[in-house]
Amino acid sequence: MHIDYQNDLNPAQHEAATTLDGPILVIAGAGSGKTRTIVYRLARLVESGVSPAEILLLTFTRKASSEMLHRAEGLLGHQGLGNVRGGTFHGFAYSLLKQHAGLLGFERGATVMDRSDGEEILSQAKDRLKIGKGDRKFPKRATVLGLYSKSRNKELTLEQVLRQEAYHLGAYEDDLTRLLEEYERIKRECGLLDYDDLLFLLERLLTEHPHVREAVTSSISHIMVDEYQDTNLVQARLVRLLTKPGDTSPNVMAVGDDAQSIYAFRGANVRNILDFPKIFQGTRVIKLEQNYRSTQPILELTNAILDGFRDKFAKRLFSERTDSRLPEHVLPFSDRSQARLVTAKVTELARTYPLDQIAVLFRAGYQSYHVEVELNKIGLGFRKYGGIKFSDAAHIKDVLACLRLGQNTSDLPAWQRILGNVPGIGPKSAQKIHHAAMINDQAFIKAQRAKRPALDELLRVLDTLRTQVMRPSTAITFVLEYYQPVLREKFPDDYPRREAGLEELTQISLSYDDIPAFLGDLSLDSPDAEEDRGQAVTLSTVHSAKGLEWDAVLVIDLVEDRFPSRHAMNDNDDFEEERRLLYVACTRARDSLTLFSPETLYSRELSATTPARVSPFLQDIPSHLMSRYREQFTGGVGLQTLPTPRRAPEGTSPQGSRPGPGEDFAASAPRTSSSTQTPVQGTYCRHKIFGRGKVVQRVEPNKYKINFPGFGLKLIIEDFVELE
């Protein structure tokens, strides 16, 4: 069967599919036909006489490798490719470890555990050491194993992971260290392996037993690795170990996109793809830049996002899909009014696109809560991916149960829910207390209060809610004084995340004057989205959206401290990953892209609305690439017209010009240094207003991006800072 490589592929795809020898790095921009390229290269290898058994294809899911092999077989007239080796890194590792288990000390063989097996072994370790006994706040087994897996995949100590990601569990560090040592001991006794063991043991096998490496590598002539930007450190080392020792030009092809490396939280390391040409000398770099998904105006915006990367493979995405519509940048008054504008935009888009072709994307799961409430109000169904649905979150339901009982004492589900948080009260006791409350059996209630001080405290809270008229926001603040300790006791593993959700609940309540109306809107479940996906809008975190696409995409909360996150504002590597996250979000859109940056955010700590700064990633984007709209006092949004900048003579700055988007008016302070400075990234500097800061990036021709503690990231003209 003849395959027309020339006409089936664009020039870059053709080059990648037909270059069969030596190390190759394919930088596949979003929507550029990466899978198609791999499929055609598999077919070309077999056509050129390479035995399928000598091809190693490593992917991140079995589904991905199966699809590629199936499509390649179709090209070859269903010639068998079943002998191609590989699948996932972990699956391939297990196939080799089974053959050589004895060399690693597993004379009786080794069994791979699933997650529930691992939790059972951890329970045995806890019992042996008598750790966490009677301590309700001790981290759950799943949490402990999750932290351990992160430390191994990132190759960090447990202390480092706790400090970075679970500071609230730091008091348990010594106990967790002892517990995990015992967990490892029991695994060895029983000949058990967990998921992470597979990669590290394969590395040990190939490193410590050269004859095994020789045998394995001599049976492989070509290696292909998909999604290389998602590999962790040990996976990158394994790729090197799977090439023949001493081979200076191995046939290794890595395919991926450095700009889509967004999984550092689970161990992915962007340096693997960036350093590939250094590790494999003579690497041929091929860039797939033609995009088959988005319109050119959307790609112009994503190219501008790419321009901001500090360390990258430069590329310019382009499309044959020309369209005059620019992406929109909407500036709502607040994060509350943002939800209403998002809902209005979804309603508008639904006149053109099916609901299942509209997606609202966000950085963190709690950020969609306002939008969920607004969609509920108008009866528009949605499905949420990543994070808990607002109406399903246990901590939200707990607080609302208190408010419900303040309005209706006979609400049995609310009684059962909130009494379930009182130690010693189960479902039967809850029913008895509910019955006693209904008939005002004071003798029974008094006896229960005497036995359980926590019940006494709860009933006092409910009495206050019943006897005092409060606005919803006041009532929630009052309930949270009681519930905060309960929350930390009930959810010790992740209460910081849940507290962020409760802050959003408080903010949502500010829009309401009375509790019944507030409860009415929040108690409505999301209208049942029919099995037909056309009946539901997608709400998704950006991480959960990777690999997917929609006709219309809306991205919300594009302001400092939310996107990028507060943590990322103080770390260069995390800051770069957040930029990649925005690139991934924007490249999900085919036809329509709308970005939202609320001008104010509510702060519960300050009990006030505070100004928000547009995400620094958008501050860098030339204004002509977006249509900018501001919310209007008279309703709706109005197109913001920007003045045409006056051209200044080369080498000078326009006198009296106003700062562009993202430039600080403080930059017009008196000059403190010469423009001949050449700062190095990481250099410290001083500014007369913001004080001492750290240079994050130079923005040509004459600005620095500087992080000032207490003020965040600022874009400052170089003449107004003094380097240390």
pLDDT, one tens digit per residue, over 321-340 is 988 789 999 999 998 899 99
Map residue 254 onto helix, strand or coil.
strand
Among 30, 370, 131, 88, which residue's Cα sits nearest to residue 225? 88
Q: Does 28 carry a binding-site annotation?
A: yes
Q: How far is CA 94 from CA 99, 126, 224, in A?
A: 9, 28, 18
CB 661 within 8 A of CB 623: yes
CB 151 within 8 A of CB 159: no
Q: How far is CA 579 from CA 450, 543, 576, in A?
A: 56, 13, 5
Return the higher-pLDDT residue of 23 and 721: 23
Q: For strand 55-59 and strand 24-28, is the pairing parallel, antiparallel, or unpaired?
A: unpaired
Q: For strand 608-611 and strand 600-603, is the pairing parallel, antiparallel, or unpaired?
A: antiparallel
Query: How far apart, in whole angstroms, are the C-alpha atoms of residue 683 and residue 134?
Result: 50
Question: What is the average per-residue pLDDT within 667-677?
Answer: 37
Question: What is the average per-residue pLDDT within 401-426?
Answer: 87
Lowest model confidence (mean pLDDT) among 200-209, 527-536, 551-560:
527-536
Q: How far is CA 206 from CA 100, 137, 214, 522, in A?
A: 10, 42, 9, 57
DSSP-based helix, strand, coil % in the chain, nearest 5 = 50, 15, 35
Question: What is the average per-residue pLDDT within 500-529?
Answer: 76
Most confident of the ranges 186-190, 348-352, 665-669: 348-352
How many Cβ atoms are within 10 Å of 661's Cβ, its own excluded? 16
Banded model confidence at residue 646, pLDDT cuts 50, 70, 90: very low
Map residue 297 onto helix, strand or coil.
helix
Indicate if the pLDDT at residue 617 is higher than 90.
yes
Lowest model confidence (mean pLDDT) among 11-25, 73-87, 301-315:
73-87
Q: Does 125 carry a binding-site annotation?
A: no
Query: How far apart, in whole angstroms, are the C-alpha atoms of residue 243 and residue 143?
Result: 37
Backbone angles phi, psi at 556, to 5 degrees: -110, 165
Indicate if the pLDDT at residue 530 is higher than 70.
no
Token pair for 702: 């004459």
Indicate if the pLDDT at residue 649 is higher than 70.
no
Q: How far is CA 199 from CA 237, 238, 659, in A?
A: 10, 8, 52
pLDDT of residue 661: 34
Banded model confidence at residue 258, pLDDT cuts 50, 70, 90: very high
Map residue 286 onto helix, strand or coil.
strand
Indicate if the pLDDT at residue 170 is higher than 80.
yes
In the chain the first and final C-alpha atoms are separated, in Å, by 68
pLDDT of residue 605: 66
pLDDT of residue 668: 30
pLDDT of residue 644: 44
Question: What is the average per-residue pLDDT within 646-669?
Answer: 34
User: DSSP characters for 587-645?
Assistant: TTEEEEEEEE--SEEEETTTTEEEE-PBPHHHHTS-GGGSEEEEE-TTSSEEEPP-PPP
CA–centroid distance for 336 within its chain: 23
pLDDT of residue 703: 78
Query: In percent, how much of the chain has pLDDT > 70?
Result: 91
Q: How far is CA 106 from CA 94, 120, 189, 193, in A?
A: 13, 21, 10, 10
Question: What is the average per-residue pLDDT within 623-644?
Answer: 81
Query: How far apart, in whole angstroms, are the C-alpha atoms of residue 338 and residue 631?
Result: 9
Q: Does 35 carry a binding-site annotation?
A: yes
Backbone angles phi, psi at 578, to 5 degrees: -65, -35
Query: What are 609's strand-pairing partners?
Result: 602
Return the higher-pLDDT residue of 605 and 569: 569
pTM of the predicted protein model: 0.80
Q: How far is CA 614 from CA 16, 330, 598, 712, 713, in A?
A: 40, 11, 8, 12, 11
Banded model confidence at residue 604, pLDDT cuts 50, 70, 90: low
Return the higher-pLDDT residue of 586 and 136: 586
Q: For strand 637-639 and strand 192-193, is the pairing parallel, antiparallel, or unpaired?
A: unpaired
Token pair for 162: 């706790």
For Cα atoms 443, 448, 449, give the angle at the middle one, nearest 5 degrees: 100
**Position 509: which residue type?**
S
Tokens 């056509």 correspond to 47
**Position 548: which residue type?**
L
Q: Does 29 carry a binding-site annotation?
A: yes
CB 46 within 8 A of CB 1: no
Q: How far is CA 396 from CA 385, 403, 484, 502, in A?
A: 18, 11, 12, 7
Query: How far apart, in whole angstroms, are the C-alpha atoms of residue 518 and residue 511?
Result: 9
pLDDT of residue 642: 59
Question: What is the average per-residue pLDDT within 539-548?
Answer: 93
Banded model confidence at residue 680, pLDDT cuts 50, 70, 90: low
Query: How far apart, in whole angstroms, are the C-alpha atoms of residue 311 and residue 577?
Result: 11
Indicate if the pLDDT at residue 650 is higher than 70.
no
pLDDT of residue 285: 96
CB 255 within 8 A of CB 226: yes
Query: What are 224's strand-pairing partners?
Result: 57, 253
pLDDT of residue 645: 41
Q: Does 17 carry a binding-site annotation?
A: no
Query: How far apart, in whole angstroms, are the C-alpha atoms of residue 406 and residue 411?
Result: 10
Tokens 């107004």 correspond to 720
Tokens 């959810």 correspond to 491
Lowest model confidence (mean pLDDT) among 209-213, 420-424, 584-588, 591-595:
420-424
Query: How far apart, in whole angstroms, are the C-alpha atoms of residue 635 and residue 694?
Result: 41
What beta strand segments (E) does 367-486 contain? Answer: 382-385
Question: What is the average per-residue pLDDT within 347-362?
Answer: 94
Q: For strand 691-699 and strand 684-687, is the pairing parallel, antiparallel, or unpaired?
A: antiparallel
pLDDT of residue 511: 79
Burial letters 321-336, b for 16+ CB under 10 A, else e: beeeebbbbbbbbbbb
Return the higher-pLDDT residue of 203 and 518: 203
Starting at the edge strand found earlier in the chain, the sheet holding 222-225 runs: 85-88, 55-59, 222-225, 252-256, 24-28, 284-288
